A and B are shown apart, each in its own frame.
Chain A
Amino acid sequence: MKSGQAPDVASALVIPRPGKEIVLSCLLLLLLVAGWEVIVRVRGIPPLIVPAPTVVWESLVAHTRSGFLFTHLGVTLSEILLGFLAGCLFGIGLGIGVALSPLLGGVLHPYLIASQAMPKLALAPIFVMWFGFGILPKVLITALIAFFPLFENTVAGLNEVDRDALELFRALRATPWQTLRWLRLPNAVPFVVAGLKVAMVLSIVGAVVAEYVGANRGLGALIISSQGMMDTPLMFAVFVVLVLLGVVLYQAVVLLERACLAKRYRE
């Protein structure tokens, strides 16, 4: 019996179970923060350049209590989620279209490559001119950024199908639609889910940086305005919020991935 089971790659990538590592990780964080505090105090570095962790914490607490941070967090979160969702849907949809129609794929290919070579953030100024300072231009930028990993992975997942399985479907006289539904789409699921992770990370960057260019609300806008106000502790407080936001959103996609791949795709 040749049941040589493939090594479980997935389990090598998941975050280790709470144990020695997590304790050491926390200790390392404490050490770094304490070292930062000590250096800032001993050297007398002004808060405008590098605020001490305690100062950042005070700013964070104050702005959280007043609800000020939440307002901006809400705006950025909406931009990320709307842009991510739109980009994913469009990417998956066009991916299916291209995989089904080689003609469509051939015609669109140069445009897609060109659109990828173009840094989407470079479009931010013109989007501000066209769509104003609201969330729409940021959602569009984020969607453009999230689009490509989903598009690319969907096409790969639909096309990289076991050739023998295609032959089987042919022998069963399956229609193209049946082959899509029962072979290509299920085959694409792990690819698409991997694309979601990449798209989520890029979406966060896209939304925040797009806000730099022209926005009156959002965490990116807050970073720019804290720079203008020379309120560096606030800027650092926003960094903390961004880190937390990124971790939460990424973990959400990881959980979604586990749910999608559970049972049918995993050991």
Chain B
Amino acid sequence: MAARIEALNIVKTFETPSGPVQALRGVDLTARPGEFVTLVGESGCGKTTLLRILAGLLLPTQGEVRIDGTRLGGPSQEVGVVFQRPVLLPWRTALENVLLPAQVQRLPLADAAVEARNLLRTMGLGDFLDRFPRHLSGGMQQRVAMARALLLSPSILLMDEPFGALDAITREQMHLDLLTLWSARRPTILFVTHDIAEAVFLADRVVLLSPRPGTVAEVFEVPLPRPRLPDHRFSGDFAAICRAVKHAMQGNAEEGR
């Protein structure tokens, strides 16, 4: 199911009217099959740029992305993407939105609909299949987006601050639901966030990116037991890892000044 995804010496330079701006400077990163890796960093450290490169939506200036050793040349069916915003089509119901990837791949819709219903039910949206996005809360909309990303069972799931716009309580529930889905299906997950607690709670490994230009500053193992429980947030180990990440982030920021 799961696949290894590697970023090898990724450099990305954007041409701007005021000259070239380097967004990423030699990023090396590996996520092992089935691993949950979070990418943290301050805003402007190139997290989203890196994720778009990993998704094949943006070509790196140098370096390459490999999935199970194969060079990635563009968007791939192996990779599911969840964006910051749910990006649902407003004229489609929740179920129809989830089915979009199957339609694009010209798969039999009846089979896909069974899978889509299952996914939505798993996420507690069984009663909302025929609702339009405008009738769903922000959390529900993002669940629909997650179901859409998982419909074709991608071996890698890339998530770009998917819960950033949600309130704290909804977000904690989303964390648990995401971890449940992940342990059931075991895709490799790369999850971008600027929330250190979120990064530590979800991850096997936390990758800290330092800004301008973005590069991997440090990697933290998270040895907390699985399954993760809400109470883990109050454990000393959890606090210690968060503190280490925070200090490393501040250290980078001061170096940068």
Write the nearest CB–CB distance from A254 to chain B, whole angstroms: 20
Whether A170 contacts B75 in the complex (CB less than 8 A), given A1-B137, A182-B100, comes out as yes
Whether A164 contacts B104 in the complex (CB less than 8 A), given A1-B167, A170-B75, comes out as no
**What CA separation (Å) do A3 and B166 show in the bound complex?**
11
Q: List 14 A-B contacts (CB under 8 A).
A: A2-B165, A170-B57, A170-B75, A171-B57, A171-B75, A172-B100, A172-B101, A172-B105, A173-B77, A174-B104, A178-B104, A183-B89, A186-B91, A264-B90
Chain A, 155-178, CB within 8 A of any chain B CB: 162, 164-165, 167-174, 178
Q: Are B137 and A171 in contact (CB under 8 A)?
A: no
- Chain B's closest residue to A1 (CB) is B137
Whether A165 contacts B87 in the complex (CB less than 8 A), given A1-B137, A2-B165, A182-B100, comes out as yes
A5: interface (CB < 8 Å): yes
**What CA separation (Å) do A3 and B170 show in the bound complex?**
13
**What CA separation (Å) do A245 and B89 show in the bound complex?**
38
A58: interface (CB < 8 Å): no
User: Interface code A1-45, partner B: CB below 8 Å = 1, 0 otherwise?
Assistant: 111010000000000000000000000000000000000000000
Other-chain residue from A1, A172, A265 in contact with B75 (beta carbon distance below 8 A): A172
Whether A1 contacts B170 in the complex (CB less than 8 A), given A174-B104, A267-B134, comes out as yes
Which B residues have a C-beta under 8 Å from some C-beta of A?
A: 55-57, 74-77, 79, 81, 83, 85, 87, 89-92, 100-101, 103-105, 132, 134, 137-139, 165, 167, 170
Question: How many of chain A's residues touch chain B, expressed as a range?
Answer: 20 to 34
**What CA separation (Å) do A254 and B55 show in the bound complex?**
44
Write the nearest CB–CB distance from A219 to chain B, whole angstroms: 39
Q: Are B91 and A3 in contact (CB under 8 A)?
A: no
Whether A171 contacts B165 in the complex (CB less than 8 A), given A182-B89, A186-B91, A267-B134, comes out as no
**What CA separation (Å) do A37 and B167 show in the bound complex?**
67
**What CA separation (Å) do A169 and B89 show in the bound complex?**
11
Q: Are B83 and A164 in contact (CB under 8 A)?
A: yes
Write the nearest CB–CB distance from A215 to chain B, whole angstroms: 43
**What CA separation (Å) do A182 and B88 show in the bound complex?**
12
Other-chain residue from A5, A164, A183, A189 in contact with B85 (beta carbon distance below 8 A): A164
> B134 contacts which chain A residues (CB < 8 A)?
5, 267
The 9 A-B pairs of least Cβ separation, nearest first, read A264-B91, A1-B137, A164-B87, A172-B104, A174-B104, A171-B81, A171-B75, A186-B91, A2-B138
- Chain B's closest residue to A181 (CB) is B103
Write the nearest CB–CB distance from B255 to chain A, whole angstroms: 33
**What CA separation (Å) do A181 and B92 show in the bound complex?**
13
Chain A, 135-193, CB within 8 A of any chain B CB: 162, 164-165, 167-174, 178, 182-183, 186, 189
- Chain A's closest residue to B86 (CB) is A164
Other-chain residue from B56, B83, B91, B137 in contact with A265 (beta carbon distance below 8 A): B91
Pick from A173, A183, A265 the residue with the most CB of B within 10 Å.
A173
> A174 contacts which chain B residues (CB < 8 A)?
104
Write the nearest CB–CB distance from B147 to chain A, whole angstroms: 14
Q: Are A173 and B83 in contact (CB under 8 A)?
A: no
**What CA separation (Å) do A172 and B76 show in the bound complex?**
8
> A168 contacts which chain B residues (CB < 8 A)?
81, 83, 87
**What CA separation (Å) do A95 and B245 show in the bound complex?**
53
Write the nearest CB–CB distance from A259 to chain B, whole angstroms: 14
- Chain B's closest residue to A190 (CB) is B91
**What CA separation (Å) do A183 and B134 show in the bound complex?**
17
> B91 contacts which chain A residues (CB < 8 A)?
186, 189, 264-265
Pick from B55, B85, B87 the residue with the most CB of A within 10 Å.
B87
